[in-house]
Amino acid sequence: MSSLVIIPTYNEVLNITSAVSAVRSAVPAANVLIVDDNSPDGTGATADSLAAGDPFVHVLHRPAKSGLGDAYLAGFAWGMERGFEILVEMDADGSHPADRLDALIGAVSAPTLPGAHYPGLAIGSRWVKGGSVVNWPAHRLFLSRGANWYTRAMLGIQVQDSTAGFRAFRTEVLQNIHLDEVNSHGYCFQIDLTLRVLDAGYTVVELPIEFTERVTGESKMSKNIVVEAMRQVTSWGWQRRFGAKPTAS
């Protein structure tokens, strides 16, 4: 099945070349789409140079930074318009191991019978057996584990790492979960899509990865991103418990 690895960037000029090289080595048949939000450090120009030298690499320039979720939605739309059957999310900072791409893509690539329930989403998970995190301070470990515990408790789902940003979707699944209604911008976007996939009746599988903290560049994590996620998860949880079971929005 044809695959597109989507890498959103904002000020990742020090990382994007190695990130693209890692993907092209790990899954040579896959295409790469760099979605750059007008990075002032020259990431967009570097991305254009990479694309000029490799027909499997493409660039989507956006006018300004407007959140991780918006960047991925733009990448999904680009991939769907061109008929890619599997769309993959991956960070540019080296934290996601490219050598697990083949496994993620394979997990959602198996042919299925019409009407069968198959994995619609495969997550590269830090918090399942065999998963791990390298070089994170204690407060980041606590935040990630706590956020995922709270998500499971509030939403009644069993996914161990619903905040993870290393994941592969079958395109037909994304087409069936009302992406036009998504209004999550930061890391809450990952929880939103996980919930939508489950509510649509598809299976989510988690594959263990070793997540390594970035070496160069600055993390995009902020207090506002955390607050958005907590607020949204709390709202969805209350709706699911005391109202009609909604699709996340």
Q: CA 15 to CA 23: how far, in whole Å?
A: 13
Provide the b/e sequence for 156-195 (b: ≥16 CB within 10 Å). ebebbbbbbbbbbbbbebbeebebeebebbbbbbbbbbbb
**Average pLDDT over the chain, rounded to an integer:** 90
27 closest CA partner among 127, 99, 122: 99
Q: What is the pLDDT of residues 137-173, one digit of tens each?
A: 898 898 889 889 999 999 999 999 999 999 999 999 9
Q: What is the pLDDT of residues 84-104, one digit of tens each?
A: 999 999 999 999 999 999 999
Cα radius of gyration (the chain): 17
Q: CA 130 to CA 107: how far, in whole Å?
A: 17
Q: Which tops the pLDDT comparison, 118 or 58?
A: 58
Contacts of 20 (CB under 8 A, 6+ apart): 7, 32, 34, 50, 54, 57
Backbone angles phi, psi at 76, to 5 degrees: -60, -45
Q: What is the pLDDT of residues 179-225, one digit of tens each?
A: 999 988 777 999 999 999 999 999 999 999 999 997 776 665 556 66
Report residue 38's pLDDT band, with 50, 70 and 90 as the boundaries. Answer: very high
Q: Quote the CATH superfamily of domain 3-242.
A: Spore Coat Polysaccharide Biosynthesis Protein SpsA; Chain A (3.90.550.10)
pLDDT at 249: 44
User: Residue ranges per domain, the chain?
Assistant: 3-242
Report residue 241's pLDDT band, with 50, 70 and 90 as the boundaries. Answer: confident
